[in-house]
Every structure is written in structure tokens, then in C-alpha cells.
Amino acid sequence: MSEITSTSSLGKWSQRLLAAIFLGGQVIIHLLRGKIHRRNTLEQMAVVGPDSLFIALLTAVFVGAVFTIQVAREFITFGAGNLVGGVLAVALTRELSPVLTAVVIAGRVGSAFAAEIGTMRVTEQIDALLMLKTDPVDYLVIPRLLACLLMMPILTLLSLVTGMLGGLIIATNIYNLSDTQFLDSARNFLGTWDIISAMIKACCFGVLIAVIGCSWGLTTTGGAKGVGQSTTTAVVTALLIIFISNFFLSWLMYQGTGSALLQGF
């Protein structure tokens, strides 16, 4: 009985994932037509950006601090304390800032998208939109997608700066490293491509979060219980897709041998 249930659940999940892919295609077509609800987009930008700023920055501060604690003690032991800032900068820029910001946004905003649109679906508000000749993709999905697409790079950049600040505080106060040395190391290690790749990752993750959250909301069935299940599954799916896509993006962006460590010396 449990095997049948798990198989049906996997089949339903696969159908909803396919629906999310089709929704992504619909969004591209609608965007090419230039149909954008500006007021809805600005409202969603406020939800994704300013309303999520505090938790994203708080996460970044402690991630930068913890990473510095783990790295600095080992590097100082080997006489490489001058590399701590650069290693932290590379780790935050290439991986930690985009991914952890996406995780925070998926949990906070992706779940809200699925819950809001799912509630509209089970209470037949989306049917009412269709009766009024208003396309749900134009009215509900595109503003949320644009909000995530525009706000995620900004949040990621701010998380990077805040994470470096957290690392700097730990490095200077606990390990007595020079702040000038720390920041010079970060500047020497980081390249323009590192920042660009972080922004590309952030944009991709933002689109994925919005599409998955909205698609799971639009395919919600079963009343209040269905809304709860859609919200949970949307967040889990978004996190899974973020981690998988992060692997492929990193593989494409950072092929070959690295030169950041050579630049740091």
C-alpha cells in the first residue's frame, strides 16, 4: 500500500514539474508580448527585496563569520593568514552568497507564492480572473518572476558585502589579522567574472523559485489541505532544483584550472 502511495506521489510530482516547465515557456512568450502589470510587479519587488533583506543579511553575516572561524585557524597554522580574506571572498562570491540567498528566498517567498496562488485556485478566484478575461500568467506569475529576477542579484550582492563584513570582524578581533591585509587579499583573489557569475546564478535561481512557486500554486487541488501540501512541496522542489542547477552552472562557469590562488600571492 505504501509503495502504491509513494509511486502515485512521485507521478503527481513529475506531472507538476512538467507543468512548471510549460509555465516557464508560457512566461517567455507572454514577456515577448510585453504584457507587464507594473503595479503588481512593484508590490512583489517589495516583498522579495526589502521585506526579505534583514533575514538574508543576517544569514550572510553568520555564514561569513563561521567560514572565517573554520578557515583562519588552519591557514594561520600554515603561515598563510594573508590568504583568509581572499578565500572567504571567493567562497562567498562563487557559491555561498548566491545559494544561501536563494535558499532563504525559496523558504520565505517561494512558499508565499505557492500559498497565495494555491488559495486563489481552491477558492476559485483564478476562475473569476478568467471570467474577467484576465490571464493569470500576466496578472500573477510574471510580476512575481520579474520581482525575483530583479531583486535576487541585489540581495546576493548585499549578502556578499555583509558576509565579508562578518568575516572581517572575526578575522580582526579573534585572530588579530590586519583589516588591510584581509581586504587586499579579497581584492587580489576576486575577478570581474566572479561577480558576474554570482549575478547570473542569482538571476537563474530567482526565475526557478518564482516559476516553481507559482506553478505549484496554480496546480493546487483539495482545499486547505492541498494548499499546505503545495506550499511544502514547492519549497522542497525549489531547493532541490536550486542545488542541481547550481552544480551545472558551476561546472559551466569554472571549467579548467583556477588562478585565484596564484593572484593572491
Residue 258: its pLDDT value, please? 59
pLDDT class for 104, splitting at 50, 70, 90?
very high
Give 51-72 pLDDT, tens digit per residue.
999 999 999 999 999 999 988 8
Give 159-187 pLDDT, tens digit per residue.
999 999 999 999 999 888 888 888 999 99
pLDDT at 3 over 80: no
pLDDT at 133 over 80: yes
Q: CA–CA separation, 69 vs 175, rounded Å?
A: 9
Q: Give CB contacts under 8 A, 24+ apart, made by 170-178.
A: 170/64, 170/65, 170/68, 170/69, 170/72, 171/68, 171/72, 171/84, 171/85, 174/69, 174/72, 175/68, 175/72, 175/73, 175/76, 175/81, 175/84, 177/72, 177/76, 177/81, 177/84, 177/85
CB of 32 within 8 A of CB of 134? no
Residues 6+ apart with CB under 8 A from 59: 100, 101, 104, 159
Residue 80: its pLDDT value, please? 81
pTM of the full structure: 0.90
pLDDT at 8 over 80: no
Give 13-28 pLDDT, tens digit per residue.
889 889 999 999 999 9
Cα angle at 238 between 237 and 242, to 5 degrees? 115
Neighbours of 23 (CB within 10 A): 21
pLDDT class for 5, splitting at 50, 70, 90?
low
Residue 259: its pLDDT value, please? 56
Residue 221: its pLDDT value, please? 86
User: Average pLDDT for residues 143-160, to the nearest whole number?
Assistant: 95
